[in-house]
């Protein structure tokens, strides 16, 4: 799929460079994750939804003389803010993580992470089963996460654009967006198949790196 950027879109990209919070760059092309989602979905997800959360987050702080600049601090103290900030800070932060949770490359968990998965879940296949079951059960829109909490790996879910850090559910190591905008063009209402194909593109290098930072 060849994506043509119009003049108006180019101007928006230039404007975005001057914003407080900026989108992270995709580490692959829109068409590189065909086993998971197609290029149209990736383009829409990145340039419509992710950009929308980013723009609205910037808008929410645009009139403040000294706006907060640390998104992680905002997320961890989200109860200080209104629902508009919560939704868009979460959408911005979650998606900024999500793009690096998936990859067209073949990866596998590190030895240390593999041992921890075996200890806490029994095996990698059992982790995938627990995670997939929880992701399917998310009512409406939300996310499913693998987190590290109190010395253990756990699977948790969050509604809407909430994040585990907002409710002290643990440090996110891996997350899956189960909003329909993430998969509907490719799977329609078949969330189960979307989740199944997610495991083909999980970036275990990123998960292993995040795990090493918290143990």
Query: What confidence tens digit (pLDDT) does each residue in 134-146 have?
Result: 999 999 999 999 9
Give the pLDDT score at 5.
42
Could you tell me where in the chain the CATH 1.10.287.990 domains are found?
A: 7-19+37-101
Report the percent of the chain where pLDDT is more than 90: 88
Which segments of the chain belong to CATH 3.55.40.20?
111-214
Confidence at residue 34, expressed as pLDDT on a 0 to 100 scale: 95
Whether the Cβ atoms of residue 23 and residue 16 lie closer than 8 Å to each other: yes
111-214 is a CATH 3.20.20.150 domain: no
CATH 1.10.287.990 is held by the domain 7-19+37-101: yes
Q: For 153-198, where are the alpha helices, taking DSSP H only?
A: 184-187, 191-198
Give this prediction's pTM. 0.90
Per residue in 63-104, pLDDT tens? 888 889 999 999 999 999 999 999 999 999 999 999 999 999
Tokens 């997320």 correspond to what residue? Answer: 75
Distance from C-alpha of 195 to C-alpha of 131, rounded to nearest angstrom: 9
DSSP 8-state class, residue 79: G
Tokens coding 52? 């929308």
H helices, E strands: number in the chain: 10, 3
The owner of tokens 């899956």 is: 176
Tokens representing residue 75 in the block = 């997320």
């Amino acid at each position: 799929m060849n994506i043509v950027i119009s003049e108006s879109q180019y101007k928006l990209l230039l404007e975005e460079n001057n914003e407080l919070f900026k989108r992270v760059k995709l580490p692959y092309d829109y068409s590189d994750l065909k086993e998971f989602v197609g290029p149209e979905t990736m383009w829409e997800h990145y340039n419509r939804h992710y950009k929308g959360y980013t723009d609205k987050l910037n808008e929410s702080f645009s009139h403040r003389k000294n706006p907060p600049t640390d998104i992680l601090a905002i997320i961890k103290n989200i109860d200080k803010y209104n629902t508009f900030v919560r939704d868009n800070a979460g959408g911005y932060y979650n998606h900024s993580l999500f793009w690096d949770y998936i990859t067209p490359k073949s990866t596998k968990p590190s030895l240390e992470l593999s041992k921890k998965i075996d200890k806490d879940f029994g095996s990698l296949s059992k982790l995938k089963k627990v995670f997939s079951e929880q992701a399917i059960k998310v009512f409406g829109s939300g996310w499913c996460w693998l987190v590290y909490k109190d010395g253990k790996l756990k699977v948790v879910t969050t509604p809407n654009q909430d994040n585990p850090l907002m409710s002290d559910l643990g440090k996110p190591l891996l997350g899956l967006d189960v909003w329909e905008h993430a998969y509907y063009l490719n799977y329609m209402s078949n969330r189960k198949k979307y989740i199944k194909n997610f495991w083909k593109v999980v970036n275990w290098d990123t998960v292993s790196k995040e795990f090493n930072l918290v143990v």
